[in-house]
Amino acid sequence: MQKLGYYNGKYGELEEMTVPMNDRVCFFGDGVYDATYSRNYKIFALDEHLDRFFNSAALLKMEVPHTKKELGDILQEMVSKMDTGENFVYWQLTRGTGVRNHVFPECKANVWITLVPKDIVDTYAKIKLTTMEDTRFFHCNIKTLNLIPSVMASERAKQLGCDETVLHRGDRVTECAHSNVHIIKDGIFQTAPTDHLILPGIARAHLIKACKALGYAVDEHPFTVDEMMNADEVIVSSSGSLCLAASEIDGKPVGGKASEMLKNIQDYVYNEFMSATDVEEAK
């Protein structure tokens, strides 16, 4: 199949799938999600994404109707049905289906899965960023479906000819609209701590792993907008953009001062992705 959808055990071509109007996602965005990529029909970092998915569900007091292994098997089975092995693999859980009511309904949660052909972003391409005040909710650590603030920030970046928006609360940089953001300064990789203001990114964790393997110091403390603008490198990471370096922010040049360290980190995470998704015989 070219694009594949799944809803509570039923699957088919994505454009032909339908869901009940009373699914609580329609009224409240009441759910959580996670996503990663597959290559050669192998899903990258699946266990880590499932761990975060189940944690997000637990924080919203939602019960996933599958074990981690069961859901992982379903996702892998869905990927195997695709015409190509390179896909964006997305899944979400909504609290259930019921007549609109703010209190939790007594019903089983709904599982959605969508797969569309897509490659990861070119790790070595330079990107442009813009900044804006972070006015989102205070549950940024939960990968909730309430994404309107992130959607608006992403659209703003597009209108300004940028690739991503860096969010900040006052002087403190938090994260991007749909990525984590980090800096390199004086040979140290610095990233915000995983408190309630940022999502604990899987790609972020792999960058930290890469730095430690390469012998680079890691500092998990907040940094300011000014520190970001004066950093040796500014890095954006997500499951689909493993380690992208910024060339400008708000129209001002940034980075370009630690190219060797940056390249070493990029090589590490890119090779890790390629190795983890490689197979001896392609399907």
Look at residue 282 in the predicted model and tell me its pLDDT: 43
Q: Let me know: does 261 contact 234? Beta carbons within 8 Å.
A: no
pLDDT digits (tens, 9 = 90+) for 9-44: 999 999 999 999 999 999 999 999 999 999 999 999
pLDDT bracket for residue 280 (50, 70, 90):
low
Element (H, E) at 35: strand 31-39
pLDDT digits (tens, 9 = 90+) for 225-254: 999 999 999 999 999 999 999 999 999 999
pLDDT bracket for residue 137 (50, 70, 90):
confident
Element (H, E) at 27: helix 25-28
Partners of 117 in the β-ladder = 87
| Among 257, 249, 244, 61, CA closest to 144 | 61
| Among 184, 146, 174, CA closest to 28 | 146
**C-alpha–C-alpha distance, residues 150 and 134, integer Å:** 9
**One-letter identity of residue 188:** I
Look at residue 279 in the predicted model and tell me its pLDDT: 84
| Among 43, 88, 115, CA closest to 276 | 43
Output the six-digit token pair for 57.
């569900």
Look at residue 281 in the predicted model and tell me its pLDDT: 47
**C-alpha–C-alpha distance, residues 260 and 64, integer Å:** 44
Rounded to the nearest angstrom, the gap between the alpha carbon of residue 168 and the centroid of all alpha carbons in its chain is 18
Strand pairing report for 217-219 and 188-191: parallel
Query: Does residue 128 carry a catalytic annotation?
Result: no
pLDDT digits (tens, 9 = 90+) for 73-106: 999 999 999 999 999 999 999 999 999 998 998 9
Look at residue 1 in the predicted model and tell me its pLDDT: 79
Q: Is the pLDDT of residue 196 over 80?
A: yes
Q: Let me know: does 282 contact 39? Beta carbons within 8 Å.
A: no
Element (H, E) at 72: helix 68-80
Output the six-digit token pair for 151.
């959607």
Phi, psi of 40 (to 5 degrees): 55, 35
CB under 8 Å to 139, separation ≥6 — which residues?
59, 196
**C-alpha–C-alpha distance, residues 153 and 216, integer Å:** 32
- Give me the half-sphere count of Cα atoms (radius 13 Å) on the Cβ side of residue 266: 21
- Cα-based torsion angle of the residue sequence 131, 190, 139, 61 in order, rounded to the nearest 10 degrees: 150
Catalytic residue of the set 143, 185, 252, 283? 143
**C-alpha–C-alpha distance, residues 222 and 174, integer Å:** 8
Output the six-digit token pair for 111.
């599982």
Which has more pLDDT, 1 or 138? 138
pLDDT bracket for residue 283 (50, 70, 90):
very low
pLDDT bracket for residue 181 (50, 70, 90):
very high
